[in-house]
Structure 1
């Protein structure tokens, strides 16, 4: 009997989360002021990082979801911009036997947490290949992002009801 076929109480199967595939959906790197910005950079630029997570069921596949982690980072602004990088990194996940109330947290916290190290490496590699020190994005608290998103959704619903 495989690990995923074992039961916890004799008749309910254990929850499982499997990564079936990972992929880069979109990747963009711009250094509009190169090559000038590659010489004589004396101070560290301000870096702005944006994060977004999306999840959708895969058509025709029961319990499979396409989870996308979007990261964008910009170093500097305007004429002082060093680079701007955008990445949409996805994964196909099989999510089985989770209670319905746990499905969204699994999709919006656990799945991106599993994708993040790979997306972080892509960002580091592309910034290094662009002529800059690799950008190593700090770990992201996906639970806090999920809670913030849920609070915003509740606030939006209350405004619509009013």
Structure 2
């Protein structure tokens, strides 16, 4: 055993702290707002008259709640269907589906992407079922939403914001 200059045994090097593992707990899920408009029924068309084409728009919102480490995340889906033959609307479904999450172990600089990527992933299977049930119960074939790539959605939104900032920046 070697000694240090003061006669004491050498101390082991301090071990780096193990990174904290992110933990997420879903505390609640809820429909904040939902509407379904069946245009076909209102106009008196028959199902033989339509060739549906479906478009889906997704947006996200997240905010801190007053309780410590709690966040509210809302996924907003707008599902529209038009008749391929003449582009007339068939139905419109708007769904705002939220969740309240307890999130621990996520660095502050990573919280924004975590809330807008991981939390919506947890909510999505429930949104998919609500959309399928609502469209089926509304008289149409059930719309089974394709899986949403929330990472790509997040990256696209960040890129869009950066482009908007560049466009607003004064030219030198």
Q: TM-score, normalised by structure 2?
A: 0.80
Question: Per-residue deviation at 1:80?
Answer: 3.0
1:104 aligns with 2:112: yes
Deviations 1:60-95 (A, max 9, x none): 211111100001111116873221100000000111
Q: What is the number of equivalent residue pairs in this alignment?
A: 152
Equivalent in the alignment of 2:79? 73
The one of 18, 21, 42 aligned to 1:14: 21
Say what the alpha-carbon RMSD is for the aligned residues. Answer: 2.1
Q: Hey, what's the Cα distance between the residues in 2 that align with 1:29 and 1:106?
A: 30
Structure 2 match to 1:62: 68
Identify unmatched segments of 5+ residues in structure 2: 1-15
Write out per-residue CA displacement over residues 25-78 of structure 1, whole angstroms, 9 at most, x where no aligned residue: 00100012316334324x6322111000110111x2111111000011111168
Change (3 A) 1:158 1:27: same
Larger Rg computed on CA atoms: 2
TM-score, structure 1 length as denominator? 0.85
Alpha-carbon distance between aligned partners in 2 of 1:131 and 1:28, rounded to the nearest angstrom: 15
CA drift of 1:153 comes to 1.3
